[in-house]
Structure 1
């Protein structure tokens, strides 16, 4: 089962509990497999939220048994340097500083760090040193918020 298929399986239950599935990482194989689920809600995540979602996901995974081998389930908040992957994530964090890595160079450049100034279903716009760069979301390998401390 791919990460996308797994997300489609788990997302309705997570949303039903009042949370957003922000990201999912599945590193499976052998005895050291890990399934990491990152959740969020408008007023933030506390330990009890993670426990609640973990119990619900564990029940689904026990019944559906979609993953081979042994693995540890981890549920947590996305953190200050949260990963952005959906158009809604980019729209939510307009005005924030982001770090972007593209799958392939665009105009000779693969890495960007700047202010997220626009976003829609297909593209984001990042301002780096006063210059705007339009980046198709489908070309993004990794996008993260840059925490301001």
Structure 2
């Protein structure tokens, strides 16, 4: 199924690109009899920049933007700006292509298109650069200071590594025992990473 998921991702990228969207992730969950194919989307960089410009110009009401973004505490560029119309258009076009190219999962499946959410996955260096200043949770392949699970504020992202401020979040017991306030993690050592929602 991994190979088929790669092909599905390529088709999703093609459809999303034609609609001014980017694919953040593609997941297939559930059983063989009834599975869910979920595609996480957001406006592309140009679309996000346009939405931010509209907020700054006052074309979009401040009430329509989450409070911490409206106050300037978080960067408006971090929002996905995905609309219901975007999801509907993508689902229609993508579903048709899946059928035509016979790429859909075997058996019955449900297609879902949605925003990556507040706890979105971070998979590439560009993600870490974009979400600098955010709280993140990271699991590493190899332990650092005898710990594989870290949570903190992403303060820097270089070519090969990123830095977390550990004082910004509650740490697990192993992380607390290290006695360090920052940790540098090599990008190649990151097994999983995701945002930690802040309210």
For residues 136 and 8 of structure 1, what CA distance do their matches in structure 2 show?
A: 28
The Cα of 1:28 is off from its aligned counterpart by 5.7
Partner of 1:12: 14
Q: 2:140 aligns with which of 93, 96, 102?
A: 102
Residue of structure 1 equivalent to 2:195: 145
**Higher fraction of strand:** 1
Computed over aligned residues only, the root mean square deviation of the Cα atoms, in angstroms, reads: 2.0
Greater helix share, structure number: 2
Q: TM-score of the superposition, structure 2-length normalised?
A: 0.67
Which stretch shifts more, 125-134 or 55-64?
125-134
Displacement, 1:4? Answer: 3.6
Q: Which runs of 5+ in 2 are unaligned?
A: 52-80, 168-179
Q: Is the 8 A contact 1:102 1:111 kept in 2?
A: yes
Pick one of 51, 67, 70 that aligns with 2:88: 51
Alignment check: 8 A CA contact 1:29 1:68 kept: no
TM (norm. structure 1) is: 0.87
SS class of match (2:164): strand
Structure number, greater radius of gyration: 2
Identify which range, 106-115 or 60-69, moves more after superposition.
60-69
